[in-house]
Chain A
Amino acid sequence: MQTLVAYVENKPGVLNRVSSLARRLAINIDSLTVGPTENEEIARMTIVAHTDERGAHRLEASLEKLVDVLLAENISTRALLERDLALIKVSANQQNRPHLMELIKVFRARVVDVAPESLIIEVSGTVDKIDGLLEVLRPFGVLEMARSGRISMTRGGDLLQPPVSEPQAPNSSPLAQT
């Protein structure tokens, strides 16, 4: 599994170009999250892909060839902070509710909705942590689940910032007429 971060133009069709490219390279995307950055014209993507290092290089280099992609970087081998968010609706009754609450506490999850027959649990963390919670909740009956997909950031001073606009040279005649 390889993790890539991409900064892209925040406009219609760009997600299509990115996902279409992965499809063309026959790379299966495990998760792709996208959201605006502090600059509303630029969006940031975290792409988790089922491929090896060579495939990730190809995806990274091919992504950067897209006009609307400002930067793409394979960050798989760097020190990363990774987060996934899940909302899990689990069936809960009077008898098992105390037991559930205990598990939720152990996993540092939160109950965000309470109904007579169910609870919604919010949990964030690494994929492993969420998978772990899911495992212990399963016997209670998981009714519904929504996961955000992974977002990743390199740790500490290892910065991955979008490139800034610089004035472009006018192309009065790009035709190399020979």
Chain B
Amino acid sequence: MKLTGAEIVCESLTRLGVREIFGYPGGAILPVYDALGKSKLHHVLVRHEQGATHMADGYARASGGIGVAMATSGPGATNMVTGIATAMLDSSPVVCITGQVSSKVLGTDAFQEIDITGITMPITKHNVVVTKAEDVARTLREAFLIANSGRPGPVLVDITKDAQQASAEFNWEASVPKLPPKRRRNNHDQAEFDRAVEMLNTAKRPVILAGHGIMVSSAMRAFEQFVHAGNYPVAMTLLGIGCFPANNPLNLGMMGMHGEAWVNNAIQEADLLIAVGMRFDDRVTGDLRTYAKSARKIHIEIDRAEINKNVKVDAALVGDAREVLERLTPHIETREHTSWIRHITELKGDSAVRDIQSLPDSGHLYAAHVINDLWKETRGEAIIVTDVGQHQMWEAQYYHHNRARTLITSGGLGTMGFALPAAIGAKFAKPDSEVWVVVGDGGFQMTMSELATIVQEKINIKIAIINNGFLGMVRQWQEFFYDKRYVATPLVAPDFAALANAFGIRGERISKRAEVVPTIRSARESAETVLLDFRVEQEDSVYPMVAAGASLSDMIRRPNNPLVETATEP
């Protein structure tokens, strides 16, 4: 069967199981859009190509499958860069398809020509230029294979316009991936494995560091069995949240810069750290010289390049988390770790003062109230998509996730503007799930044009803006480390409720604690998207905090007298 390259793109994507494409048309990708119109694929028209990549990313993270974003050449492609980098840093399988000028004029600075494969080389797992229609099907199959195998990541396929227009014989069965042969490393080192088992069975004060890799390898069951086999307390990375139920008594919560004090203290006092699918990011370790000094370390990780990168480990088990855990669990001798777990519980008591419930209702609204109420009202069952900053940390502290893939957030790159488009992608992946955006007034203003996408697509998500009139996290750093010199952090915002109305979306403003629950309830009852603008304390801070580069033991704790200034009406 003869098809054009553009038709082969659509046919291949359909056969690869794609239902939705997030994209924006333009000259160099027009043949594919023409073919899209004749296909069964659903195209979601975004308002900016960055939004397309975040939507594909949100789709991938919510589903475990691959998200697809599409854009034209030149500015369309360069607008994708932030979204691609976001996916790269969080190992998210996204396939980006960009149009490119015709192969005849490649390298001539033709209109809207840019070397997007050159630009994205360090921020993609792989990228490739296709100049022939007959290569389209095989290349797309390769792209999908690469994106979601091993440690996942984004792949960009740049297709010249003449390759889209030319015709070629389409034979799906014959278009098998032809990737270069790879050396097969035998990652199972028996001596290393035995050493790890010995450490696991002799540890007195073990702590597991659970990361995103557990979800990527769908190792949740294997992980739970491993945890219970050894009664290991579990600390989570930001992206690990959800891989182990928050309501399990062994789940301590999030570690690191804004981790709860007992979690960081437990890590610092541990004699064994078992890192699973995480990469000892600087936000997790603090100062490496003082990090968990009395602990031996086991690292279970699929990516060899992560071994001994930041933290020198005593045993490295390279491989898929599920496979390694399933191999380890039968060797675990059950230990109760009673006194160690009791000790950690005692550490928690010290933090009770921070509990949002024990703050008196002074009529003022704290972000933590909003998130705590949202958690209770949704019974922890919603998919929460957060942006980056204070609200992101409060979400991680106060929304207790019991299921994998229910917290979607930009961790590694920390991309503001991620939440709204990523939530749209998540909703397409999980149309029957309740999806909430938790976003700051700063990040929301970066990508709020995607409200129009929501309306055009008639989808139902709920948006909670944690509006404190500041770029809150930066303001917090200025308060702590720059003598309260608030340079460029006070932020003027539009009336978000009125803005929502202008898009045809219901919007409400909330500034009292007593109003939070009723508004959340009424928003949940609506079958349409609702935007809630929560006016919260302007100068509240996220506690505890480990300053960048400081020791994990050195936490700034919440003062006993919380701030009482209220968000002022504009």
Contacts and interface: CB of A to CB of B under 8 A. Distances in A.
B17 interface: yes
Contacts of A67: 125-126, 146, 179-180
A170 B173 CA distance: 8
Contacts of B121: 16-17, 20
Contact of A163 (B64, B117, B183): B183
B182 interface: yes
B442 interface: no
Interface in A42-56: 54
B16 A174 contact: yes
B177 A163 contact: no
Contacts of A172: 15
Contacts of A17: 121
Nearest to A170: B176
Interface stretch (B304-312, B329-337, B387-395): B304-312
Contacts of A21: 122
Contacts of A66: 126
A173 B180 contact: no
Contacts of B30: none
Interface residues of B, number: 39
A29 to B, nearest CB: 16
A40 interface: no
Given A20-B122, A62-B305, A64-B304, A71 B176 contact: no
Contact of A177 (B63, B176, B179): B63
Contacts of A61: 303-305, 307
B17 A171 contact: no
Contact of A70 (B64, B181, B309): B181
- Which range contains the number of A residues in contact with the other chain? 35 or more
A175 interface: yes
B505 interface: no
A87 B496 CA distance: 71
B130 interface: no
Q: Is the interface of B mostly helix, strand, loop or mixed?
A: loop
A57 interface: yes
B408 to A, nearest CB: 14
B181 A174 contact: no
A170 B307 CA distance: 31
B457 to A, nearest CB: 20
A58 interface: yes
* Most A CB within 10 A of own CB, among B149, B173, B180, B183: B180
A57 B313 CA distance: 14
Interface in B232-250: none
Given A171-B141, A173-B16, A177-B63, A64 B180 contact: no
B184 A163 contact: yes
B305 A178 contact: no
Interface string A139-178: 0000000000000000000000011111010111111111
A69 to B, nearest CB: 8
Nearest to A73: B183
Contacts of B184: 163
B66 interface: yes
Nearest to A165: B181
Given A62-B305, A67-B126, A175 B65 contact: yes
A9 interface: yes
Given A24-B122, A65-B303, A168-B177, A174 B145 contact: yes
Contacts of A82: none
Contacts of A68: 180
B182 A70 contact: yes
B453 to A, nearest CB: 23
B178 interface: yes
Contacts of B145: 171, 174
Given A168-B176, A173-B16, A178 B182 contact: no
B528 to A, nearest CB: 27
A163 B308 contact: no
Contacts of B177: 168, 170-171
Contacts of B118: 16
B50 interface: no
B148 interface: yes
Contacts of B146: 67
A177 B65 contact: yes
A178 B64 contact: yes
14 contacts: A17-B121, A57-B308, A58-B309, A61-B305, A65-B303, A68-B180, A162-B181, A163-B181, A164-B181, A165-B180, A170-B177, A173-B17, A178-B64, A178-B405
Interface of A: 9, 13, 16-17, 20-21, 24, 54, 57-58, 61-62, 64-71, 162-166, 168, 170-178
Interface of B: 15-18, 63-66, 117-118, 121-122, 125-126, 141, 144-146, 148-149, 151, 173, 176-184, 218, 303-305, 307-309, 405
